Amino acid sequence: MSGIDPRPFLDFQIDPSDLEKRRTLELSRKALEPGQVRFRVDRFAFTANNISYASTGSFLGYLNFFPTDIEAPWRRIPVMGHGEIIESSHPDIESGGRYFGFYPMSGEHVITAERRGANVWDAGSHREPHAATYRQFEDVRRDPHYDPAREDLVALLRGLYVTSFLVEDYLHDNAGFGAESVLVTSASSKTSIALGYCLRQRGTPSIGLTSHRNLDAVRKLNCFDNVLPYDELPAIDHTRPTALVDLAGDGALLAAIHHQFGDALKYSCVVGGTHRGAAAAPTELPGPTPRFFFAPSQIKKRSGEWGAVEFTARLGQGFRDFGSFIEPALHIVRGSDAEAVDRAYGEVLDGRSSPTTGHILSLSGN
């Protein structure tokens, strides 16, 4: 016990049943058990993608990423960021180094660790149901493309770009399911922006739907062939074979799209849930049954077909190209205390954050 830093650390928690409810607590450190390591969570990104984790996490497992050693109903939201191992009781893992991965919105993070190649894995029993891609912490010292100056960009965009890359690749892999165009909801979310970019790189026609507030900002990015406000949905040609990628998670909007397109809707997948408090969709809808897109399945398929090295190379090059494309338009907003984290959470939750704003936050003072 004598080696434990006596100072408390900050921990941000939400109530999944009412995302308006959140709190930041000061928690005491506990001594590490054998095989555990302690990360200092230096900086993390917060985007609409994290709101999707919070709103869908109870049934997709995102809110079980971290130990639930807190009173119900409170949970921790996964965020992507960088941290350092500041203490280790694992014989094969040293203190120090810098790691990129999923962390809680907290000042620190303790895991039951396992060394796998160059990376550290969360081997806790509560993590066994989760896909491998969500459980690893990548040692940036082993990444030939690591650039300290681009850490914020990586934290903000790499995780969601992976999803967008895989959704577009899945559509391409299945010949678009016969669709001639892709309709994307919540077009102002960074995942949708990255998807629009990937579709445009492939030459696939696309339409983004967003709010009037974000219309101009999304149009200026020039990721989609057309960007329309939600109330102009009826103006879209409903006879053209179309695939839907839904990031809004709004049941009423999903139903309206299905009813408008009917059999012309060739594929319908749900990726996120950025529209807070939206009603669930009816169980019976015209056209294809909406399916949740599970990114790890496409990772496994492509890694098997292309080989892990080639898959990683294609994904990495795609992300670097997207980063160069989007970086000039990004405005990074940093915050390093509980008030800043709470403010950023509220802005993103309420949809008041600009599509080109990137929140980089810290609860460890970094």
Which of the listed residues 270, 296, 322 is the one where a domain comes to its end? 296
Percent of the chain whose pLDDT exceeds 90 = 77
User: For residue 68, is it within any domain?
Assistant: yes
Return the pLDDT at 87: 96
Same domain? For 239 and 182 the reply is yes
End position of a domain, from candidates 276, 296, 316: 296
Weakest-pLDDT range from 49-63, 120-134, 222-236, 270-284? 270-284
pTM of the model: 0.89
How far is 240 from 330, CA to CA, in rounded Å? 34
Statement to judge: residues 140 and 170 lie in one domain = no
347 with 242, same domain: the answer is no
Give the domain extent around 208: 158-296
Q: What is the pLDDT of residue 260?
A: 97
Q: For residue range 90-103, list pLDDT tens digits in order.
A: 999 999 999 999 99
| pLDDT reading at 198 higher than 60 | yes
180 shares a domain with 133: no
Residue 286 exposure: Cα atoms within 13 Å on the Cβ side: 12
pLDDT at 49: 86
DSSP state of 74: -
Average pLDDT over residues 271-287: 75
Summarised one tens digit per residue, pLDDT across range 102-135 is 999 999 999 999 999 889 999 988 888 887 888 9
User: Which residues, including other chains, have CB under 8 Å from residue 348's CB and lie 6 or more apart?
Assistant: 46, 47, 48, 50, 51, 359
> pLDDT tier at 2 (50, 70, 90 boundaries)?
very low
Residue 21 phi, psi dihedral angles, 5° rounding: -85, 120
Q: Other CB atoms closer than 10 Å to residue 154's CB: what's the count?
A: 22
pLDDT at 279: 63
Tell me what pLDDT residue 125 has. 87
Q: Are residues 275 and 233 in the same domain?
A: yes
21: pLDDT strictly greater than 70: yes
In a domain, 313, yes or no: no
Could you tell me how many residues make up the chain? 366
pLDDT, mean of residues 227-234:
97
CB 124 within 8 A of CB 111: yes
In the chain, what percentage of residues exceed pLDDT 70? 95
184 is a domain residue? yes
pLDDT of residue 62: 85
Residue 236 lies in a domain: yes
Question: Does residue 171 lie in a domain region?
Answer: yes
Residue 28 has pLDDT above 60, yes or no: yes
Same domain membership, residue 231 and residue 349 = no
Q: How far is CA 270 from CA 186, 227, 274, 289, 295, in A?
A: 11, 19, 11, 10, 12
Residue 139 DSSP SS3:
strand
**Residue 310 falls within a domain, yes or no?**
no
Instruction: Examine the domain organization and report whether 243 and 342 are in the same domain.
Output: no
State residue 58's pLDDT score: 59
Tally of domains in the chain: 2
| pLDDT level of residue 7 (50, 70, 90 thresholds) | confident
Both 127 and 165 in a single domain?
no
3-state secondary structure of 329: helix
Q: What is the CATH number of the domain that holds 46?
A: 3.90.180.10
- For the chain, what is the radius of gyration of the CA atoms? 21
C-alpha span between 153 and 176 (Å, rounded): 30
Question: Would you state the pLDDT for residue 1?
Answer: 38
User: Cα–Cα distance between 183 and 185 in angstroms, integer?
Assistant: 7
Res 60: pLDDT = 65
Whether 340 is covered by a domain: the verdict is yes
Are 87 and 207 members of one domain? Answer: no
Give 15 or 278, the one with higher predicted confidence: 15
Whether the pLDDT of residue 42 is over 80: the answer is yes
Is pLDDT of 162 > 50? yes
Site of tokens 């970019």: 197
Q: 3-state DSSP call for residue 229?
A: strand
Is there a single domain that holds both residue 80 and residue 210?
Answer: no
Amino acid identity of residue 33, one-letter, is: E
Please report the pLDDT score of residue 204 as a whole number: 98
In a domain, 152, yes or no: no
Please state, in angstroms and rounded to a whole number, the distance separating the CA atoms of residues 278 and 323. Answer: 31
Are 117 and 198 in a shared domain? no
Q: Does one domain contain both 142 and 163?
A: no
Closest CA to 358 of 329, 333, 328: 333
Mean pLDDT of 260-273: 93
108 Cβ partners below 8 Å, 6+ apart? 9, 29, 38, 39, 40, 41, 86, 364
Give the tokens for residue 115.
Answer: 């060394």
Average pLDDT, the chain: 92
CATH number reported for the structural domain that contains residue 261 in this entry = 3.40.50.720
Residue with tokens 């130990």: 67
pLDDT confidence of residue 274: 66
pLDDT attached to residue 347: 94
